[in-house]
Chain A
Amino acid sequence: MVFSVKNVIELSGGKKYIVADTLEINNIWYYYLYEIDSEEKIIKDVKRIITTVSENNNILVKSINGTLATEIETKFKERQNI
């Protein structure tokens, strides 16, 4: 696991996110993020599911889309319900 819940991460694109939840499926960690404003004051209603890969000591973020994203989002929501 690279990020923990309530971590704020800043990406090379300039956007900032807060980690709302983490989930491991088949040894891959997925992260449920909410976008936050640049001043880190407001959580926006923009969600994103990502996974990470590392290359040359860099952490790269890869967005998860499509059916896999839907499945993971469902699992995240189930966890939140618990």
Chain B
Amino acid sequence: MQDFSRAEGSKNHRASFYKASNNIIDYIQYLQNKYRGLSERLEEARKERAAIIEETIQLLKNNKVKLGKQLGRCNNAEINRELLNAINTLNYIEKEKVQINLIKINNRYELICSLGRQLEALSENLTRYRVLENDYDEEVEIILPRKNKSNTNSEKDAEPIDVPSKKEAQTTSALETEEGLAEDKLEKVVAIKPANANLAQQLEQIHESYQDEVSTDHNDESAELTETETSEIYQESEDIYIDPEKLFDTQEMVAIQSEVDYALDANDNSSDYYQEDENQVDDENDYVLFTINAKITLAEIAKNVYQDENCWEDIYYYGDNQEKIDLKALENELTVEEIVSSPGYLADVTLQFPTSLEVRKEKSEETISRSRAA
């Protein structure tokens, strides 16, 4: 510790203190002056930029060009994007003006960013001399509640808003401007010259390889098309076996289809084995018995299982179905057409359904000829 009992020591210490504090004051004043100067230049550049933007807006308005977003609300990247898009719709002279304005705007923006960085650096220097306020402990912290229209009673319990500190905000803005700069930087062309033979050759190779890629892609596409076509054809062929679930979400349709499929499979599997006794097997396996539910009509079954609504006639003439359907028509005093197309009339009636189209047709033709003969 300094010996303050001695005059010399005390004086030296006081002189040193005042000298140091004056130095600090001078430095702070220097910072203030520098900040003031930079800030004025920044304001000037900002106003110039705003004026150029205003002029450009007027220019675009005169040419009836509509922008996606108001330029006044755009950041620099958005202004560039909007103006570059707008340029395409202008004639040569106006376009040149907007292009020049765009350059001026970008130049000012670059200057503003540069000055802004200097101002930030100055404020960083100032933070080293930050003085704690005397009433720091007594300061009242104001916590603003979250805006919640639906729940006004719970305002007191609401959590405070996370307001970013000034420093954080400054850092974010600095980052944003840097990103903006990187995106929108205008670069000056220093030199133009023809490429050497090596580069020219490489460029040609790139073009050739690109063309090869394109042609390969085309081949692949054609191959894919063929596959697609094949799958479509395959799908079409499969459509013969219509999925009843897709058309009717009823258990009845599923049951009929599965019964028919099963019968078909059984028929296929047993056809070789029972080749000698073909007629007998057909008689046994070429139809399935199914009891019709009150919710579905015979016409619907024909449409969804045999893909043809008119097939109900074949079913009608098949086996002993005609007798059963005629009986129901007689009971209800309706025509056969009405019976097969209205639900409920054939409820709990068990009919025979042929398993294949050929059988069905042959049988129906036979039955019709028989009935005609009779």
List A residues at the B interface (Cβ < 8 Å): 2-3, 6-13, 18, 20, 25-28, 34, 36, 40-43, 51-53, 55, 58-66, 68, 77, 80-81
Beyond contacts A18-B199, A42-B202, A64-B84: 13 other A-B pairs, Cβ-Cβ < 8 A, are: A6-B194, A6-B200, A6-B203, A8-B199, A11-B188, A20-B203, A43-B202, A53-B102, A59-B189, A63-B183, A63-B185, A68-B85, A81-B214
Is there contact, CB below 8 Å, between A7 and B195?
yes
Cross-chain pairs A/B with CB under 8 angstroms, 7 sampled: A6-B199, A7-B193, A18-B203, A58-B189, A60-B189, A61-B188, A62-B80
Q: Which of B185, B186, B202, B207 has a CB less than 8 Å from the CB of A80?
A: B207
Q: Which of A11, A26, A40, A77 contacts B187 (CB 8 A)?
A: A11
Q: Which of B84, B102, B187, B189 meets A68, CB within 8 Å?
A: B84
Q: What are the residues of chain A within 8 A of B154 when measuring CB–CB?
A: none
Q: How far is the CA of A53 from the CA of B190 in the complex (A)?
A: 14
Task: Show the binding face of B for A, using Cβ within 8 Å.
Answer: 80-81, 84-85, 87-89, 92, 95, 99-100, 102-103, 183, 185-196, 198-200, 202-203, 206-207, 210-211, 214
Question: Nearest-CB distance from A2 to chain B (Å)?
Answer: 8
Do residues B87 and A9 form an inter-chain contact, with CB atoms below 8 A? no
Which of chain A's residues have a CB closer than 8 A to the CB of B190? Answer: 10-12
- The answer to whether B188 and A12 have CB atoms under 8 Å apart is yes
Give Cα A2–Cα B206 distance, bound, in whole angstroms.
23
Q: Given the known A-B contacts A7-B194, A40-B199, A81-B211, are A34 and B206 also in contact in the complex, defined by CB atoms under 8 Å?
A: yes
- Measured in the bound complex, the distance between the Cα atoms of B193 and A45 in whole Å is 21
Quick check: B199 and A60 within 8 Å, CB to CB? no
- Residue in B80, B88, B191, B214 whose beta carbon sits within 8 Å of that of A9 in the complex: B191
By a CB distance below 8 angstroms, the chain A residues around B194 are 6-8
Q: Tell which of B84, B189, B198 has the most Cβ of chain A within 10 Å.
A: B189
Docked Cα-Cα span, A23 to B183, in Å, equals 22
Q: Which residue on chain A has the smallest CB distance to residue B99?
A: A53
Measured CA separation A58–B189 after assembly (Å) = 7
Whether A53 contacts B103 by the Cβ 8 Å rule is yes
Residue of A with least CB distance to B77: A65
B192 touches A9 (CB 8 A): yes
Distance A52 CA – B187 CA, assembled complex (angstroms) = 10
* A26 cross-chain contacts in B, Cβ below 8 A: 87-89
Question: What's the least CB distance linking A29 to chain B, in Å?
Answer: 12
CA distance A13 to B192 in the complex (A): 14
**Given A8-B199, A53-B102, A68-B84: A60 touches B191 (CB 8 Å cut-off):** no
The smallest beta-carbon distance between B335 and chain A, in angstroms, is 66
Distance A10 CA – B187 CA, assembled complex (angstroms): 10
Task: List the 6 closest A-B pairs by CB distance, nearest first.
Answer: A12-B188, A59-B189, A11-B187, A10-B191, A6-B195, A10-B190
A81 cross-chain contacts in B, Cβ below 8 A? 211, 214
Contacts of B95 in A (CB 8 A): 27-28
The answer for the CA separation of A23 and B374 in the assembled complex, in Å, is 86
Within the assembled complex, what's the spacing in Å between the Cα atoms of A12 and B95?
A: 25
Tell me, rounded to whole Å, the shortest Cβ–Cβ distance linking B200 to chain A: 5
B222–chain A nearest beta-carbon distance, Å: 16
Determine how close the nearest CB of chain B comes to the CB of A18; give it in whole angstroms. Answer: 5
For A55, give its contact among B89, B100, B192, B211 (CB under 8 Å).
Answer: B100
Bound form: Cα–Cα A63–B186 in Å: 8
Q: Is the CB of B188 within 8 A of A43?
A: no
Chain B's closest residue to A65 (CB) is B183
Question: Is A59 in contact with B210, judged by CB distance below 8 angstroms?
Answer: no
